[in-house]
Amino acid sequence: MVAIDERRLLRRLDELAQRGALPGGGLYRALYTPAWVSATELVSGWMKEAGLLVRRDAVGNVWGRVEGSRGGRAIVTGSHIDTVRGGGALDGALGVVAAVEAVASLVSQLGRPLRILEAVAICEEEGSRFNTNFWGARAIADRIEPDEASRARDADGVTLADAMRGVGLDPANVAQAIRRDIDTFVELHVEQGPILEEEGPRLGVVRTIVGTAHLEVVVRGQPDHAGATAMDRRRDALLGASAMMLAIADVAREMGPPAVATVGTIAVEPAQVNVVPGLARFTVDARHSDNAQRTLLVADITRVCKVAGRERDLSVDVRTLRDRPAVQLNERAADVARRACLACGVAPRDMTSGAGHDAQVLSAAAHAAMIFVPSIGGRSHCPEEATAAEDVILGTRALAAALRDLAYS
């Protein structure tokens, strides 16, 4: 078994959590912001300390590499370094810190691997600043859309292209981030749900990552005076949207697990305290591990929104913003992860991930596998996100064992 420096691992997680820490709790490391730059520089320093060859690619992914004596296609591990607004200290960060620790431990104890071995801090996964989820992984997998960097804007109107230039990256060079030489990508991640903590065991191996559809629902009624318009004469877009949201939740409940649907944002116009809302716009995140069922879920959501609109004399438009199918991760890579968990004394649970991950995108460019560790209380995307120290250590040991199998055998 490969020994890891447990204190260094936990200390580095704490150090990374200071980059982007918010005064009221939680973190915010958005793509190409000063907090993000500080975090990437911190990770780069750890990689250099481990003797790895460090580089930043064309979109800002940070790679630490050790050459293999037999060359060939690379074995890669890592996760994303950005966070949601008010997020926790482990989502993405665990996989980044554990990747550096696992690779450093392997090289220090076993020397040069047979195959190229790399740790990567992927620049962005969450889409919390720009609507560009998986920007870093999609760049590696050659999935960036033409002119995407020029089209995407943040809430302040800054384009992704200008944000790249602000940190010394040229948007014209995005294609240089493409990798066609990765054999296997292994990602360690917190579960972000309650199954491992409540049902055990302490490690999981992901087989499927659910498909996700993002919808925008626009409800149009009629703005009127809040005092002079009788209740039975109103075409209140917000009340209509509220009825639709309740119906959407019922649709997902009736379909049953693993179907879920979430209304994450809502805006009204004219947004004045004394005006009946004439327009409401909200988003829906709909997920299912079966692609046919996800399609049905979206159809049912659209149907109940239209019905609620007709009942209230409101017009309703439902638009699909994004639709990503469910992904089956590579069985051979999953077997490697499973053996690694067994080597650490845990027979892992085969799992479906309800959250999206870089591994699902990189599965288009490599054999991808994921190892889960428990999330305390099932909490994630919030300041309370946490995993017991012993499980952080166990997961990192399992990751190191998987990398040893892949790069040294």
Digit-coded pLDDT (tens) for 369-384: 999 999 999 999 999 9
Sheet of 260-269: strand order equals 260-269, 279-288, 211-220, 315-324
Mean pLDDT of the region 108-134 = 96
CA–CA dist 107, 46 (Å, integer): 14
The confidence score (pLDDT) of residue 71 equals 85
Which tens digit of pLDDT belongs to each residue from 238-262? 999 999 999 999 999 999 999 999 9
The fraction of the chain above a pLDDT of 70, given in percent, is 100
The confidence score (pLDDT) of residue 393 equals 98
Which pTM was predicted? 0.91
DSSP 137: H
Report whether 95 contacts 189 (CB < 8 A).
yes
The confidence score (pLDDT) of residue 15 equals 98
Query: Is residue 234 predicted with pLDDT exceeding 90?
Result: yes
Domain boundaries, the chain: 6-210+326-408, 211-324
The confidence score (pLDDT) of residue 111 equals 96
CA–CA dist 21, 179 (Å, integer): 32
CA distances, 193 to each of 89, 115, 260, 354 (Å): 15, 34, 13, 8
The confidence score (pLDDT) of residue 137 equals 98
Question: What number of other Cβ atoms are within 10 A of residue 116's Cβ?
Answer: 21
The confidence score (pLDDT) of residue 106 equals 98
The confidence score (pLDDT) of residue 311 equals 97
Mean pLDDT of the region 23-30 = 96
Average pLDDT, the chain: 97
Which tens digit of pLDDT belongs to each residue from 175-213? 999 999 999 999 999 999 999 999 999 999 999 999 999
The confidence score (pLDDT) of residue 1 equals 80
Report whether 389 contacts 10 (CB < 8 A).
yes
Burial code of 236-270, b = ≥16 C-beta within 10 A, e = fewer? Answer: bbbbbbbbbbebbeebbeebeebbbbebeeeebee
Which tens digit of pLDDT belongs to each residue from 333-354? 999 999 999 999 999 999 999 9
- Of 3.30.930.10, 3.50.50.60, 3.40.50.2000, 3.40.630.10, the CATH number of 6-210+326-408 is 3.40.630.10
φ, ψ of residue 106 to 5 degrees: the values are -60, -45
Tokens of 267: 């805006």
Q: Where are the beta strands (DSSP E) in 81-210?
A: 117-122, 182-190, 204-209
* pLDDT band at 131; cut points 50, 70, 90: confident
Closest CA to 369 of 160, 78, 168, 3: 78
CA distances, 218 to each of 256, 306, 309, 319, 331 (Å): 26, 11, 10, 8, 41
Mean pLDDT of the region 230-234 = 96
- Partners of residue 76 on adjacent β-strands: 118, 185
Q: According to the CATH classification, is domain 211-324 in 3.30.70.100?
A: no
Element (H, E) at 108: helix 93-110
Which tens digit of pLDDT belongs to each residue from 38-74? 999 999 999 999 999 999 999 999 999 999 999 899 9
